[in-house]
Structure 1
Amino acid sequence: MTIRYGFLSTHPPTRCGLATFNAALAAHLGRAGVAGGVVRIAGHGDDLTSEPGVVHTWTAGTPAGWRDSAAALNSFDIAVVQHEYGIYPGRDGGEVLSVLRRLTVPSIVVLHTVLSRPTPSQKSLLEQIAGAAGAVVTITRAAHDRLLAGYAVDPAKISVIPHGASDYAGPPIRRHPQPHLLTWGLLGPGKGIEWALRGLARLQKLKPAPVYTVAGRTHPKVAELHGEAYRASLHQLGAALGIAHQVRYESAYFDDAALGKLIRSADVVVLPYDSTEQVTSGVLVEAVAARIPVVATAFPHAVELLTDGPGLLVPHKNPAALATAIRRILTQPALAATLRDRNGQAEPTLRWPVVAQRYRELAATLVTDHHPVAVAGT
């Protein structure tokens, strides 16, 4: 069955995890030569340059922008909608619901956040979104279980399809003579880098002591509100701890080739996130698929993917535990090898071609069973 996909999401040149996810999914679903298109959500200050494949841009502040966005999506066979609170206009991003209700084609809504303690408004909105969607995808089993336990949704609509991973696996690349720790992604409060720095200070007796790369630009929304205050605080902390010479800050947005080389240079990927809510982490998936051992705080996606698997879990905001876990991997070659082997077992199901095929199968079912209905007036 030939299906033309329309996507609603942030999208490059916007630089955020959601945009990267949507671009990758759109690219893989379009590899069969089927034309698709993206309705791009653009916020204040975003670059409005149109990337190939963008058929319409819904800019912040456009009155009733949902109407034209729905019209653009209705020109395809199915709409794939990325949902995250705050990227759409309206309270809690509620105007996405207006889009869904105006669609005449079936829809798949991908939930990137499922809160365990939502506000009443957030809970009601997510329940209505799930009701309006033809199918709902959660990226982790943790998000699936949280959705069913905490929200009034139809279980038959819910599927779990993992976050896709790029092909970054390959032979190690040595960038440093010392062991190399790595965290990457958009930077801002909540990333927990301060705890990793404090953990690094506890590893000074290792010979040689490791170096730590913190790669990625400051999140645009953080930069807009607070500038580079968080990054500056990290530099100050590193200096106070006496480890500034061991930390490399690479404030860049990496293309696939550069990111692949950076990941393969790491001995350990460190994810010291503060959040106990995070049910989706693209960085975690990429690290596992690249077969790099991971040390992560016990946020839900990490618990799901790393328990008895390819990494070690530590409590939140606990530099001593971070240091202990990192030391174990760096000083116990058998443990590091075991973690890499476990990564290899998880890797095939995380690859984008496999993930895209899951979406194709779900879309085909929805399109086959769809019966067009008239849309209510404006």
Structure 2
Amino acid sequence: MRIGFVSTYPPQKCGIATFTEDLARAVGAALGTGPEPHIRVVALEDVPCGYPFGPEVGFRLRRWVPGDYREAAAFLDEETDVVSLQHTFGIYGGPDGELVLELLEHLHRPVVTTFHTVRQKPTPAQRELLHQVAGHSDYVVVMARRGVEFLERIYHVPRRKVRFIHHGAPDVPYGPQGEHKEALGLASRPLILTFGLIRRDKGIEEAIRALRIVKEKGLGFLYVLLGETHPAHRRAYGEGYREELKGLVEHLGLGDSVRFEGRFVDRQELLRWLLACDIYLIPYPNLDQITSGTLTYALACGRCVVSTPFWHAQELLAEGRGVLVPPQAPDDMARAIVELLGCPERREGIQRRAYSFGRSMIWPVVGKKHLELLAQAAQKAPHPYVAQPG
């Protein structure tokens, strides 16, 4: 079975790009093959200069060029038996990414679409687009159970098409933080971590305000913000937000307690930081987020997560697997951090419950489930092409 993936792709710095590379590897491993020749990637490009993709990328799709979508469909018809398409608003061309329909309307191969964003309150155009993408798909996948409900109730996607599969995560052994702190050259004080591509809607300023309260309680810690500014945000706004955060740190007297690691790290280093942290902090103000790869990684590494209650966090951190705090409420966030730092036994219990639950989210498990679904889709009849008006 030849499988095609349509998505952003490394070295593009994007969470969905990393997800797709990991998924392709996991599906290839479950298939019992290497990436070649059974895995082919159509990689989206968002800059004219392009990216130095690996050999598994067989087609470069310039997101702003309508003709590329039709050519990508022809490539997939020729080179694959079934297609895994990754979808979120903003990675395909058009105001809401509607150019993806150019590909789907011309594609004859069965399609399994993974929705990384399913908004509870979409605009009418977003609702119609997601409905059409699902209509062109044989199955659709969501990574939070609430997404199943939203697709059926808000977007009118037939329940028979929808499947829930966890976001994948690396499989790492459970263990204490000490050796990982030592490897990173860190002191033994508690490490609080947030990682990801930084932009203004991540709520980092609220985390910093909360940590000022923690410090006033006399507790020592190091807060590390790991990750560079999101490339699209940097192109639009420069490094203004990061500079604002640095200014806030100095203003609140946290200069010796907060460290900015403004770079994109590879998986090995990322896992080292995660395994070293005592608390993983997610201060997102937007509670409509249905999927979080950073949360998935932290949970699967068996780390104690303090998070605002966005949809994915509500599900993954239930039953004592983490701590939820209200958004934009630094007092509540500080209180949770102080309590956890003061009670290692409680942290250890949360970590163990998180790690145990995370075994269902490791890439070998997730890759096998995606492969099974792709194999089901591949048995279906090819899609007929219906010319669109105009």
Alpha-carbon separation, structure 2, partners of 1:355 and 1:266: 25
> Deviating runs (4+, > 6 A) in structure 1?
none
Alpha-carbon separation, structure 2, partners of 1:181 and 1:349: 25
1:34-65 Cα offsets, whole Å, 9 max, x none, are: 62111001102564222221000011332421
Counterpart of 2:213, as a letter, is: R
The equivalent residue for 2:151 is 147
Q: Counterparts of 1:161-180 in structure 2 under 5 Å?
A: 161-171=165-175, 172=177, 173-174=180-181, 175-180=186-191
The equivalent residue for 1:36 is 39
1:148-183 Cα offsets, whole Å, 9 max, x none, are: 221111110000001000124443222222111000
Determine whether 1:228 maps to 2:239. yes
Of 40, 53, 56 in structure 2, the residue corresponding to residue 50 of structure 1 is: 53
Alpha-carbon separation, structure 1, partners of 2:257 and 2:2: 49
Of 249, 254, 271 in structure 1, the residue corresponding to residue 260 of structure 2 is: 249
Q: Counterparts of 1:188-227 in structure 2 under 5 Å?
A: 188-206=199-217, 208-227=219-238
| Alpha-carbon contact 1:179-1:208 (below 8 Å) kept | no
Alignment RMSD, CA only? 1.4
Of 151, 160, 169 in structure 2, the residue corresponding to residue 156 of structure 1 is: 160
Give the % identical residues. Answer: 35
Mind listing any 5+ residue stretches in structure 2 that lack a counterpart? Answer: none
Counterpart of 1:29, as a letter, is: V
Counterpart of 1:9, as a letter, is: S
| Alpha-carbon contact 1:100-1:132 (below 8 Å) kept | yes
1:133-161 Cα offsets, whole Å, 9 max, x none, are: 01000011011112222111111000000
Counterpart of 1:144, as a letter, is: V
| Alpha-carbon contact 1:169-1:264 (below 8 Å) kept | no
Counterpart of 2:4, as a letter, is: G
| Alpha-carbon contact 1:169-1:289 (below 8 Å) kept | no
Of 328, 340, 360 in structure 2, the residue corresponding to residue 317 of structure 1 is: 328
Alpha-carbon separation, structure 1, partners of 2:298 and 2:134: 31
Q: Counterparts of 1:1-378 in structure 2 under 5 Å?
A: 3-31=1-29, 32-33=32-33, 35-44=38-47, 47-74=50-77, 75-171=79-175, 172=177, 173-174=180-181, 175-206=186-217, 208-368=219-379, 370-377=380-387
Alpha-carbon separation, structure 2, partners of 1:208 and 1:239: 18
SS at match of 1:357: helix
1:110-140 Cα offsets, whole Å, 9 max, x none, are: 0000111111111011111111101000011
TM normalised by structure 2 equals 0.93
Alpha-carbon separation, structure 2, partners of 1:189 and 1:91: 21
1:326-363 Cα offsets, whole Å, 9 max, x none, are: 11111112211110121122111000010011111111
| Alpha-carbon contact 1:178-1:210 (below 8 Å) kept | yes
SS at match of 2:302: coil
Counterpart of 2:331, as a letter, is: A
Counterpart of 2:265, as a letter, is: F
Alpha-carbon separation, structure 2, partners of 1:90 and 1:208: 49
**C-alpha deviation, 1:231, in angstroms:** 0.2
SS at match of 1:190: helix
Counterpart of 2:40, as a letter, is: G
Mind listing any 5+ residue stretches in structure 1 that lack a counterpart? Answer: none
